[in-house]
Amino acid sequence: MKNIITSILLLLVLSVPVFAQLTRDQLPPEMSRQISDEQLELTNWMMYYYKKPVPNQFPNWLKRASAAGMLKEPKRQFPFLGFEATIFAMNEDKISLWMKTIDALPEEDRKNVLMALWLSGTKSSQEVLLDKSRQRLIRGQNYFNFQTDATPLMLDDIANTYGGYLDIQWGRFSASGDDKPVRNIISVLEFAQFIGSGKKFPRPSTDEEKQAVLKEIYFQSAVWSLRSNCKIHSRVLDLCEKIYDEGNIGHLSQLVLRSILNKFKPEKYKGSKTSNKSLKPIAAPWAAPA
């Protein structure tokens, strides 16, 4: 069974107090030892991009992130895919200008950035991807299981059972600050119905059992990422309140979201009938940055 990829944002903000930017002393000790100053600076730029969009700095961020080893390993790319694809979609008129920077990246990094470009689904991205050297890198089988020979997926159409789903949505939020990625993450809270599946099926054998166990993990990851990002991003907390108050989400999502909000505004959301104290964060394979 594949490892579940949890968000780089979740990893960096767990148990971190509210500050304008992350600093080394705020990180868990193990991560503090592993992440370089350059990686921390680049991660901060990405996490808070939505507050002050500076698209003209994006090519330089790509070059620096590549040099820092952040764009290499496919299994670490999901939040970057969401972030980069959203930047491309929001700046379609700049894509052709940015291709010089992208084409100069090392091949593995270039391939992963081109995958984000494909995901952006813009007319400009489709045009630049007609180049044969670029097609060679992204066509056929890939780590992400994207059908790159077909029309690009709409980012909102990615199934919430996809292993990189949460990461992609948080990457999208970092780029835009929009409510849609947060709504998509909240949709995963309906998987609360699968709580206990890991204990019930310690060695899942059927597809149904495996899906039940995976959905419990997705649910736990969604809860922890929402709690953590509500803590560090006032925008996420505001959106979660708005979505809860609208009342247009599933019953289980409503209960769990109220439980999350109760931790931040107990005077408003006291009396939550849902407790998630037993939930624990899920380990992620990029706990050791390249």
Q: What pLDDT is recorded for position 211?
A: 95
What do you get for the CA distance between the two ends of the chain, in Å? 24
Distance CA 173, CA 193 (A): 26
Distance CA 88, CA 98 (A): 10
Contact (CB, 8 A) for 191 and 216: yes
Written as six digits, the tokens of 162 are 């996809």
H-state helical runs in 70-164: 78-90, 95-103, 107-120, 123-128, 132-138
CA proximity to 110, closest of 71, 166, 151, 58: 71
- Going by pLDDT thresholds of 50, 70 and 90, the confidence category of residue 41 is very high
* pTM metric for this prediction: 0.85
Q: Is 164 exposed, middle or buried (0-12, 13-18, 19+ CB in 10 A)?
A: buried
What is residue 121's three-state secondary structure?
A: coil
Q: Is 54 exposed, middle or buried (0-12, 13-18, 19+ CB in 10 A)?
A: exposed
Q: Of 11-15, 29-33, 222-226, which range is least confident?
A: 11-15
Distance CA 3, CA 78 (A): 13
The alpha carbon of residue 284 and the mean position of all alpha carbons in its chain are separated, in whole angstroms, by 12
Q: How many CA atoms lie within 13 A of 71 on its CB side?
A: 28
Please state the domain extents for the chain: 8-157
Q: What pLDDT is recorded for position 55?
A: 97
* Res 287 pLDDT > 50: no
DSSP string, 190-222: GGGGGTTHHHH-SS--SHHHHHHHHHHHHHHHH
Distance CA 11, CA 238 (A): 21
- Higher-pLDDT residue of 290 and 87 is 87
Written as six digits, the tokens of 219 are 């649910």
What is residue 164's three-state secondary structure?
A: coil
* Res 48 pLDDT > 60: yes
- Please, what is the average pLDDT of the chain? 85
pLDDT tens digits, 222-236: 999 999 999 889 999
